[in-house]
Structure formats: C-alpha cells, structure tokens
C-alpha cells in the first residue's frame, strides 16, 4: 500500500514518507444520501407499488400490479440531516 497523502494537498501537517493511513479513516464520517425504495411511473407519480384496474365484461373490476420493467427507480434521496456512518472506525465522544 502506497502513501495516501499527496504532496499537493493544502494540509499544513507533514507526515513521514513511510506513514500509511487506512483508507477508512480518510472517508467522510457522515452519510448524506440513501437509496430510494420507491418507483416512478411514466407520469412521474411516486409510490412503492403501482396497480392498474382491469375491467372485464360481466365480472368485477380487478387490480393488476404493474411490472417493474415499466417503472424507474427513485434513485438517491438526500437525508434531511446527515447521519453518522456506523462503519466509522473512530470513537466519538463529547466532553
């Protein structure tokens, strides 16, 4: 594993050339986004599931679930406030 600190960084700290930091320490401790669990249909309506009402002659109307091939996933959703990453290998405390 090579040196993870670049010489061009604006940091004032000077580290020895053989100093190595695990990559997990260099990550952001906050989670800002989550993956959405809902879908968008062709009208840009947002829901977990979509149903279509089928009318059959002489029978009661029936609801049929729309296949996911016709839906788009919601994508990333921003949290209203940041969460702390549970995989952060640092102990945090307040004095």
Please state, in angstroms and rounded to a whole number, the distance separating the CA atoms of residues 14 and 5.
10
Where is pLDDT greater, at 89 or 61? 61
- 3, pLDDT greater than 50: no
This prediction has a pTM of 0.55
**C-alpha distances out from residue 66 to 11, 54, 69, 82, 86, Å:** 54, 11, 8, 34, 36
31-76: pLDDT as tens digits: 899 999 999 998 989 999 999 999 988 888 999 999 888 899 999 9
């Amino acid at each position: 594993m090579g040196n993870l600190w670049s010489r061009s960084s604006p940091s004032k700290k000077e580290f020895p050339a053989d100093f190595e930091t695990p990559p997990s320490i260099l990550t952001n401790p906050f989670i800002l986004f989550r993956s959405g669990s809902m879908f968008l249909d062709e009208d840009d309506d947002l829901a977990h599931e979509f149903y279509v009402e089928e009318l059959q002659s002489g029978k009661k109307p029936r609801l049929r679930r729309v296949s996911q091939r016709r839906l788009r996933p919601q994508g990333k959703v921003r949290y209203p406030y940041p969460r702390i990453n549970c995989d952060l290998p640092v102990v945090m405390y307040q004095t």
